[in-house]
Amino acid sequence: MQKYGYVRVSTREQNEARQLDALAPYEIPQKNLFVEKKSGKDFDRPVYKRLKKRLRSGDLLIVKSIDRLGRDYDEILEEWRHITKEIGADVLILDMPLLDTRTKGRDLTGTFIADLVLQILSYVAQTERENIRQRQMEGIAAAKRQGVKFGRPALPLPDNFNEIHKAWREKKLTLKQAAMECKMPAGTFYSKAVRLEKAEK
């Protein structure tokens, strides 16, 4: 059985020493310590991938806290399943003793409790994401009711727009030519022309 440690910090924070100190009592061989400076938004991380290739059945992966493993609980659940079920390794999260698949010698209870805790964390994280999204939508709706404008203000039409628009509608100019005359992309010219025509009706 091999012990492995995984430490992750973002490039904005330089506190890997705190995580390494937490792992020190477990006497993990230096060659089995994997330190990564990478965002935890997903698991597309080179050091983490190298670590996972080294894991074998019966090995133990130690991480200080669950957010060092990752930030997306749906993805954490998938990684947890892969490590514990497919590879057959154990996982120990130091800040959350219930997340320890070694409990009572890898018996069903220990695995069940760890899986259950992860499911609850995933549910709470998903609920919070939905609550944040709902609050944002309600805030935007309230601001719009109060007359707050979102997005960049529309640029004024060029002085020659009406003249070029008329020539384009009379097929004297192609869409591309009309857009070039107005110094704007063809799609922008077309959408502004349609909007103008609707306003004039």
The whole-angstrom separation of Cα 39 and Cα 62 is 19
Helices 73-81, 108-145: crossing angle, 10 deg rounding: 160
- Cα 14 from Cα 39, distance rounded (Å): 13
Percent helix / strand / coil, the chain, rounded to 5 = 55, 10, 30
Catalytic residues: 10
Decide: 34 and 51 in contact? Cβ < 8 Å: yes
| Distance, CA of 100 to CA of 98 (rounded, Å) | 6
Q: Give the separation between CA 118 and CA 79, rounded to whole angstroms.
A: 11
Residue 45 φ then ψ, to 5°: -125, 125
Shortest CA distance to 92 belongs to which of 25, 190, 189? Answer: 25
